[in-house]
Chains A and B, each alone.
Chain A
Amino acid sequence: MRNLVGYLIRRVGWMLLTLWIVYTVSFVLMRSVPGNPFSSERTVPAAIERQLRARYNLDAPVHRQYFDIGWGIVSRGDLGWSLRLEDYSVNQVLAEGFPVSASLAIFGLVFAIGLGIPAGIISAVRRGSFADLSMMTAAVLGIAVPNFVLASIVILLFVFILPIFPAAGWGTLQQLVLPAFCLGAPVAAYIARLTRAGMLEVLTREHVRTAMAKGLSPQAVVLKHVLPGAMLPVVSYLGPATAGVLTGSLVLEKIFAIPGMGSHFINAALQRDYFLAMGMVLTYTVLLFVMNSIVDISYAVIDPRVKLQ
């Protein structure tokens, strides 16, 4: 338990350091663009200029601004004002987008795990069979076909040719199915491959033979002695998988016109909305840290030999 507390403290420490670096880099980039919100020839709409003025001393020296904005983030969690969306603070944009993106991501991940792990188990247990071959080919396809290609194919198939699902939008379960599927598919493919490889590797370990020699049924051997070990690589993949899902949602939110964080982020980038982009990067950094910490902890829970550090 003390182990865990120490680990969490260290993780938070690293996270703060990383956030500070991200903030500094973003600030330097933002400040060094001519026409940036703090320069005299700024190019922000008048209404937004008013907001900025109300909040920051736009004529203060650089180090002052660096400190002020940073302090705003630390003390109030205030990420600043959108430079393109009038009357919207970055926090408001995030508050609106986050639940949407989060539910999409969670659905995508759940779908990926629910499909990937059983497929991997079946493939490994029936190694070399037709089921194995077809599932593993599908898995390579799933990895090879980019999210947005898959999205266009499913739109062609299930929206235009066989109109089962709506093409775009947000709010109903039906509208969630296609984007979640496209988001989860590559992750599911990876998980299936990792599960299969992990299973095959653990199956060659001697302790599996020991378990067989005890007279356990093959099902019990697979479930109790093979699967937990085979899950270790899958668990460590969940960190990158989260990053992948977050990335994927950028595209899918665009294609399916979903009002999540991702679409805001793309717009922020395209329209040079630095405050919003910085806020997004900071948010995503925190998300990734949290997810990676969960992954580390679950790994240590499954494998008692691993020490958290």
Chain B
Amino acid sequence: MADIVLDHITKRFPDGRVAVDDLSLAIADGEFVILVGPSGCGKSTTLNMIAGLEDITAGELRIAGKVVNHLAPKDRDIAMVFQSYALYPHLTVRRNMAFPLTLAKRPKEEINRRVEEAARLLGLTEHLDRRPAQLSGGQRQRVAMGRAIVRSPRAFLMDEPLSNLDAKLRAQMRTEVSRLQRRLRTTTVYVTHDQTEAMTLGDRVAVLRSGRIEQVGTPAELYSRPVSVFVAGFIGSPAMNFLPATLEHGELRTPFGPIAPDDRLRRLLHRWDGAAVGRRSLVVGIRPEHFEDATLPTVRDRPGPRFTITVDVLEPLGSDTYAYFTLKDDRAPAAGLAELAPGEAGLSGPAGQVVARLDPTSRLREGERAEIWLDTSHLHLFDPSTGRSLDAGPG
């Protein structure tokens, strides 16, 4: 058990490419921290540096207070789970899991006891004498986990461990990883590009963007107070809707019509340095769940703008209904939006498409006009030139 401190870590590859740029992050003992971001953001490189598989160009990495920059991976006492599982194909499950203990020259009885304990924990007991090739994807994933936990390392590093599993198994293993970590209370750094895993697994989530940390916080913080368009668009599924707005006479002019700012928004706008230099355009971010079918009794009497749209596509999921509609105005041009890989955050749709998450009792129909209500108390405002949230202060 140990804490891990990344102190102004930089990784520059021999070809000059900077993969990780001055990254600082303190991971407490027993904490479950997620590094999340689109591909190429440096999250795997960061993990490899913690493991010792990549050299650190600059900065200091401390595990349990000790600088380990130049320690070989084997001397760091950490375990890693790879995306490919990296099971040794020529060894049985038992010997795969025993491998770290065998290398550490532990007594045979201890190895047996610990392997069997881990196997029981992961439901692998009856597979101990099989080879990895004879196992299913989920079982292989479990063996990889078993190999990591069997020697009680100071920390677990997991590099997209679930991304090779099918959706159902992934959800199942996600809860299992979570349960395992809660039970063992071992410091864990988990890399993923899947925002669902990030939101559900971690104590804290660090969103990475081109080698830098964009925001660190609990999943709830990231969701409710994203510091930038990038984080806002990455966290949450379906993704936040971004729409252009202008500030005129103290009123927000949006494609839905004017919105009179409430106290919170007024305070944000007042603090905004853009207003001081005479800029008027903003980006408004709205989570899909802050729309509602205006005809529903739950929202009939609530204040807030109502507007009429035509539903393009309706996706009834049972628990929710997603309604897609298009607004005349273009998609908000904001710094950071383009970097979200297409498809990854649901931004691949046509320009100006908005998604609303409605109550399943809603009677909307595809192709028909409908009245939508907007809850303005959860609006996010971003500066289009920097992509930063007005709530985040200067970035």
A joins B in a complex: no
Chain A residues at the B interface, C-beta cutoff of 8 Å: none
Name B's A-contacting residues (CB within 8 A).
none
